[in-house]
Amino acid sequence: MGTVFSFTVRDPGPRTAAAVERAVARLHEIDAVFSTYRQDSDISRLARGETTVEDCHPDVAEVLARCEETAGQTDGWFSARPAERLDPSGWVKGWAVEEACRVLRAAGSREHCVSGGGDVQLAGGPWRVGVAHPLRPGAFAAVLAGSDLAVATSGTAERGAHVIDPFTGHPAVALVSLTLVADPGIGLARADAWATAVFAMGPEHGLAWAERQPGVEALAVLPDGSQLRTGGLARHLPTAGPADWTLWSPRRVTTYPEPARQPR
């Protein structure tokens, strides 16, 4: 998938090593089906019109259905066809991490962390997760704490301005980083897709949208290095930590107020 996956298992047992091998095999299977970099993947062949959804791996229909659902949840700000090209990667990476966690749980683990490209699914806890600062290599924008959380970040630090505004077809540039923290039950696939959508929305619209979602908090970093965050993010911020967690002090940290609720 063009990125790095890592596993941390706090409660290893006799089945752990084999479970990690199965989880890695599952990640390779997902990559073979969904990679937009591989010409022979199902998703690439589908994008070129060489096959149908019905003839693809069964996971393809499920993933595309979840992408359509997410598009509805975000009023179209998430799309599996950014710039008119089929690319469900905004859902697939987080879902792949969830699939790896499922394999670990089946082997008996209840205390583990799986990270894919910086997006993290936590089982058990408590854990602490450092959010890399997109403008200051080696520094943290924040450190988050909690149990059974999903933490997903969209930004420009690794791949540049790659998130496309689905309404203009141009890269979204109003933010440099957007992190969502999701409570248990939401899962990393949804959190990652929502993070992509909120990044595309930009700071005002995006933070207001995140504030309305139950069980979700957001941290945004703007191009000038200042931060915006939703009102409930403080519950995920540890009160103390090692000195290296304070490498960077934001020039401005703003809590985004709860927006007026609109009838639906």
Classify 7 as helix, strand or coil: strand
Q: Are 147 and 126 in contact (CB under 8 A)?
A: yes
Q: 């923290």: which residue's tokens?
A: 181
The confidence score (pLDDT) of residue 250 equals 31
How many whole angstroms from its chain centre is CA 134? 15
The pTM (predicted TM-score) of the whole model is 0.89
The domains of the chain are located at 5-256
Q: Are 140 and 247 in contact (CB under 8 A)?
A: yes
pLDDT tens over the chain, length 264 residues: 778 999 999 999 999 999 999 999 999 999 999 999 999 999 999 999 999 999 999 999 999 999 999 999 999 999 999 888 999 999 999 999 999 999 999 999 999 999 998 899 999 999 999 999 999 988 999 999 999 999 999 988 777 778 999 999 899 999 999 999 999 999 999 999 999 999 999 999 999 999 999 999 999 999 999 999 999 999 999 865 443 332 223 333 444 443 343 433
- What are the two backbone dihedrals, phi and then psi, of residue 18, each rounded to the nearest 5 degrees? -65, -35
Cis amide prior to 126 (ω within 30 degrees)? yes
Q: What is the CATH number of domain 5-256?
A: 3.10.520.10
